[in-house]
């Protein structure tokens, strides 16, 4: 590798040819502040926070896009640089809604931190016209407040470049510029799929999920309601981050303890329903293979992906598994089987789901999600919302003991917990499908070919004399690429797993937000996924069809996978939406 030698603040630094000043500075343990920059997503040098002095240059340069050259001398903290950054922040604040005390991002806001670091106070540095915008609440999952937007364009970049949707972008020009949809439509009127990746990368409070925590506290306080909670596998891989714990901390035990102290009547695990999903989905896959059904079968666990398919690939909705997602299967089972078993009227049961995903807020309102005549799931909240509930209740998370889920809807296997990582659903399904087809015990349970955070993975497995071709995709831009190949006859598979968010649910739009510096320098997806794979490896039962609680459920209630009763309660239908609704 060709290296370039430069000096930064008088210190000799050697960096690969083609590096930017920002990248070279990081090699020297010097962090240049940024606002708009996201590696490989938004490298546009727009915010001008990262400006530095280069000896010989006529003006300050944006370090995130300025390439290094041999002998370059860079200065990152001169009075001229500091003054420029301060002036830029003052200009941003002059058109920014500064209600920091009531902002959900207060204390975790990149703009707020920069202002604190540079000593910028809450004053009107520049008087004059200030733009005012109506708050957009049309989407099921989020609120857009352009009064707080700083025009960094991270949201539009990830929507267009990573997810390949592009429903938001810069409208108007100059001082009138704002981020919005085509024709200034409400987000809920567009083909937005509710993935929430824009929220995850927003540095301020301009984009937030709709908060349902007050309604949940109210339900918990209602003595006529039985309020149960389920938690997705990916939540335990990230919740600790909201309380200062390192990325990659397993939060399961403390999470369960916190939920009990919040007052939920039962604390269950969505992993139970993930095992149930495998039973139904593996049966559906084998049925399609044996009886000439529509292939490839495509998984249906990710509601962002489902809505994307309905909008952008409506002719492929027949390929979708008819299985409800684990969250919805759990709610349907809770309000039928469990409600009957406990003598609870489904109308008096409130099911709360804690999810890494903002699209779950849209999913709970879909048609055909009411197996008991009422909504399968009443509230879907994000990992962030749960963290806020814990804080508001005065629960000291770091001092909590490790506790276990309640039974029977808290019993699960290793196959279920890896659902939160890209490739996890595929691996779990293969463990059950292969043993069902061959009638033999798998000597090795780890299907490592479908693991990892790559956007597209492919593998072929010989099962009972048949080559089964599979693909695993995460991120909707990658889904578009693969499905176009399938449609054009360039690729042929039997089974495809698609997750809407890059890296899968561990990187969902509802997970704790990390600042740009961390996103640019740490493989967050891999660290969170490792939590789940380590849990899987440590569990005594690692195959969904060996879950004793699932066996009991079928024996007592559903009969067998794919039965009429199971299909009525655990399966759903889809809509060919086209680009706009």
Looking at the structure, do residues 34 and 159 belong to the same domain, yes or no? no
- Rounded CA separation 474/344 (Å): 39
Q: Hey, what are 99's tokens?
A: 């209600």
Q: pLDDT band for position 579 (50/70/90)?
A: low
Strands 169-171 and 178-180: antiparallel
Looking at the structure, do residues 179 and 244 belong to the same domain, yes or no? no
Strands (E), 421-543: 456-463, 466-474, 495-499
Torsion 104-109-111-116 (CA) sign? positive
Which percentage of the chain shows pLDDT scores above 90? 96
CATH number for the domain spanning 308: value is 3.40.50.1780
Task: Answer left, alpha or beta for residue 151, where phi above 0 means left and psi between -120 and 50 means alpha.
Answer: left
Which percentage of the chain shows pLDDT scores above 70? 99
Which domain-ending residue is among 201, 225, 257? 201
- Measured at the CA of 209, the angle between CA 205 and CA 213, to 5 degrees, comes to 110
Strands (E), 477-578: 495-499
In a domain, 51, yes or no: yes
CATH number for the domain spanning 139: value is 3.30.70.20
Looking at the structure, do residues 456 and 365 belong to the same domain, yes or no? yes
Predicted confidence at residue 463, as pLDDT, reads 86
Task: Answer left, alpha or beta for residue 123, where phi above 0 means left and psi between -120 and 50 means alpha.
Answer: beta
Q: What separation, in Å, do the N-terminal and C-terminal C-alpha atoms of the chain show?
A: 50
pLDDT in tens, 491-541: 999 999 999 999 999 999 999 999 999 999 999 999 999 999 999 999 999
pLDDT at 259 over 50: yes
Number of Cβ atoms within 10 Å of the Cβ of 549? 16
In a domain, 206, yes or no: no
Hey, is 16 helix, strand or coil?
strand
Q: Hey, what are 385's tokens?
A: 């919302």
> Which residues are 497's β-sheet partners?
472
Predicted confidence at residue 186, as pLDDT, reads 96
In a domain, 273, yes or no: yes
Looking at the structure, do residues 455 and 512 belong to the same domain, yes or no? yes
Taking the CA atoms of residue 319, residue 324, residue 326 and residue 328 in that order, the dihedral angle to the nearest 10 degrees is 150
- Stated as kind and residue range, the H or E segment containing 429 is helix 424-438
Number of Cβ atoms within 10 Å of the Cβ of 503? 25
Nearest Cα to Cα of residue 181 among 238, 139, 119: 139
Give how many domains the chain has, as a whole number: 3
Q: Which residue has the tokens 């292939």?
A: 295
Looking at the structure, do residues 152 and 296 belong to the same domain, yes or no? no
Please give the mean pLDDT across all residues of the chain. Answer: 96
Q: Contact 409/258 with Cβ under 8 angstroms?
A: no
Nearest Cα to Cα of residue 244 among 356, 107, 357, 114: 107
Predicted confidence at residue 64, as pLDDT, reads 97
In a domain, 439, yes or no: yes
Looking at the structure, do residues 420 and 556 belong to the same domain, yes or no? yes
CATH number for the domain spanning 48: value is 3.10.20.740
Q: For the chain, give the number of residues.
A: 581
Number of Cβ atoms within 10 Å of the Cβ of 479? 27
pLDDT at 68 over 90: yes
- Rounded CA separation 151/165 (Å): 19
Looking at the structure, do residues 275 and 195 belong to the same domain, yes or no? no
pLDDT in tens, 93-148: 999 999 999 999 999 999 999 999 999 987 778 888 899 999 999 999 999 999 99
In a domain, 106, yes or no: no
Looking at the structure, do residues 462 and 386 belong to the same domain, yes or no? yes
Q: What is the mean pLDDT of residues 352-374?
A: 98
- Rounded CA separation 523/453 (Å): 9
Q: What is the mean pLDDT of residues 242-270?
A: 98
Domain assignment of residue 426, given as a range: 213-570
In a domain, 107, yes or no: no
Nearest Cα to Cα of residue 374 among 398, 418, 339: 339
Which domain-ending residue is among 148, 181, 201? 201
Which domain-ending residue is among 72, 93, 114? 93
CA 484 to chain CA centroid, Å, is 24
Looking at the structure, do residues 188 and 224 belong to the same domain, yes or no? no
Torsion 43-37-39-235 (CA) sign? negative
pLDDT at 432 over 80: yes
Predicted confidence at residue 581, as pLDDT, reads 44
Predicted confidence at residue 188, as pLDDT, reads 95
Looking at the structure, do residues 318 and 346 belong to the same domain, yes or no? yes
Looking at the structure, do residues 190 and 224 belong to the same domain, yes or no? no
pLDDT at 580 over 60: no
Q: What is the mean pLDDT of residues 46-64?
A: 97
Looking at the structure, do residues 227 and 181 belong to the same domain, yes or no? no
Could you tell me which residues come within 8 angstroms of residue 387 by beta carbon, excluding any fewer than 6 positions away? 239, 242, 243, 512
In a domain, 543, yes or no: yes
In a domain, 207, yes or no: no
């Amino acid at each position: 590798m060709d290296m370039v030698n430069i000096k930064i603040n008088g210190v000799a630094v050697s960096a690969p040819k083609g590096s930017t000043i920002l990248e070279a500075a990081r090699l020297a343990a010097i962090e240049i502040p940024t606002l708009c920059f996201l590696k490989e997503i938004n490298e546009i040098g727009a915010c001008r926070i990262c400006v530095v002095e280069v000896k010989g240059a006529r003006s300050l340069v944006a370090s995130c896009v300025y390439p290094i050259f041999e002998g370059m001398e860079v200065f990152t903290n001169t009075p001229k640089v500091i003054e420029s950054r301060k002036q830029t922040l003052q200009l941003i604040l002059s058109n920014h809604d500064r209600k920091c005390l009531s902002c959900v991002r207060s204390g975790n806001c990149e703009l707020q931190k920069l202002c604190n670091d540079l000593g910028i106070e809450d004053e009107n540095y520049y008087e004059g016209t200030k733009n005012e915008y109506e708050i957009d609440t049309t989407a099921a999952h989020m609120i857009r407040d352009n009064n707080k937007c700083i025009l960094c364009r991270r949201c539009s970049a990830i929507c267009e470049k990573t997810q390949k949707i592009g429903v938001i972008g810069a409208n108007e020009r100059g001082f009138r510029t704002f981020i919005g949809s085509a024709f200034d439509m409400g987000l809920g009127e567009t083909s937005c799929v509710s993935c929430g990746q824009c929220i995850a990368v927003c540095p301020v409070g301009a984009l937030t999920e709709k908060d349902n925590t007050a309604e949940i506290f109210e339900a918990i306080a209602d003595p006529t309601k039985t309020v149960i909670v389920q938690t997705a596998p990916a939540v335990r891989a990230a919740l600790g981050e909201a309380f200062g714990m390192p990325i990659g901390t397993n939060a399961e035990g403390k999470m369960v303890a916190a939920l009990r102290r919040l007052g939920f009547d039962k604390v269950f695990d969505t992993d139970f329903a993930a095992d149930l999903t495998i039973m139904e989905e593996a049966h559906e896959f084998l049925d399609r293979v044996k009886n000439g059904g529509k292939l490839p079968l495509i998984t249906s666990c990710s509601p962002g992906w489902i809505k994307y398919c309905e909008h952008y690939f409506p002719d492929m909705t027949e390929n979708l598994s008819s299985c409800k997602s684990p969250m919805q299967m759990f709610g349907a089972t809770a309000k039928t089987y469990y409600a009957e078993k406990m003598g609870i009227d489904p109308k008096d049961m409130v099911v709360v789901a804690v999810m890494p995903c903002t699209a779950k807020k849209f999913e709970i309102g879909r048609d055909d999600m009411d197996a008991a005549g009422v909504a399968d799931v009443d509230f879907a909240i994000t990992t962030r919302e749960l963290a806020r509930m814990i804080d508001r209740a005065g629960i000291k998370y770091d001092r909590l003991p490790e506790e276990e889920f309640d039974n029977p809807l808290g019993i699960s296997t290793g196959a279920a917990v890896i659902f939160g990582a890209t490739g996890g659903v595929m691996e779990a399904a293969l463990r059950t499908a292969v043993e069902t087809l061959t009638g033999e015990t798998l000597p090795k349970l780890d299907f490592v070919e479908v693991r990892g955070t790559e956007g597209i993975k492919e593998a072929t497995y010989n099962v009972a004399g048949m080559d089964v071709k599979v693909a695993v995709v995460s991120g909707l831009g990658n889904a578009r690429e693969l499905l176009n190949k399938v449609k054009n006859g360039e690729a042929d598979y039997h089974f495809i797993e698609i997750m809407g968010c890059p890296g899968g649910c561990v990187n969902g739009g509802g997970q704790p937000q990390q600042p740009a510096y961390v996103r640019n320098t740490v493989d967050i997806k891999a660290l969170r996924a490792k939590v789940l794979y380590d849990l899987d490896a440590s569990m005594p039962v690692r195959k969904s069809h060996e879950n004793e609680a699932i066996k009991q459920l079928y024996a007592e209630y559903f009969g067998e996978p794919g039965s009429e009763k199971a299909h009525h309660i655990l399966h759903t239908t889809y809509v060919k939406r086209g680009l706009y609704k």
